[in-house]
């Protein structure tokens, strides 16, 4: 599941650049990440600043059905996985953080279950 923050990052917010295609050519347009409305977790209602992706099959195993089509923050996802004793440590390869001042893309170097 990709959040609006993740989509903004994918569009270039982390470098404050967005590619807009005009007549088949890329045009660079500055973007201010502060203009993006932050999503809230459908479970705990916190402002979601992290974006992560797990395979759909794992999402359905971990997240209760009533939240399948909602934003679920990493902390709530982790708690659902812990409660169900599901190890997802190897499933997240990239983690995005979108703060008010900066954005970051984290690549997994190693991971382990608690």
Is pTM beyond 0.75 here? Answer: no
How do strand 25-30 and strand 17-22 relate by DSSP bridges? Answer: antiparallel
Q: Is 22 helix (H, G, I), strand (E, B) or coil?
A: strand
Q: 111 pLDDT band (50/70/90 cuts)? A: confident
Q: 48 pLDDT band (50/70/90 cuts)? A: confident
Q: How many helices (H) and strands (E) does the chain have?
A: 3, 5
What's the residue count for the chain? 114
Beta bridge partners of 109: none
């Amino acid at each position: 599941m990709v959040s609006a923050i993740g989509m903004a990052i994918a569009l270039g917010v982390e470098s404050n650049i967005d590619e807009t295609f005009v007549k088949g050519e890329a045009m660079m347009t500055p973007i201010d990440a502060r203009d993006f409305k932050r999503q809230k977790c459908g479970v705990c209602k916190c402002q979601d600043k992290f974006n992560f992706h797990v395979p759909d099959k794992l999402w359905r195993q971990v997240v209760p059905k009533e939240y399948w089509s909602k934003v679920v923050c990493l902390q709530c996802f982790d708690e659902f996985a812990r409660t169900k004793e599901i190890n997802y440590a190897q499933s997240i390869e990239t983690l995005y953080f979108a703060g008010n001042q900066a954005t970051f893309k984290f690549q997994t170097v190693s991971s382990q279950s608690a």
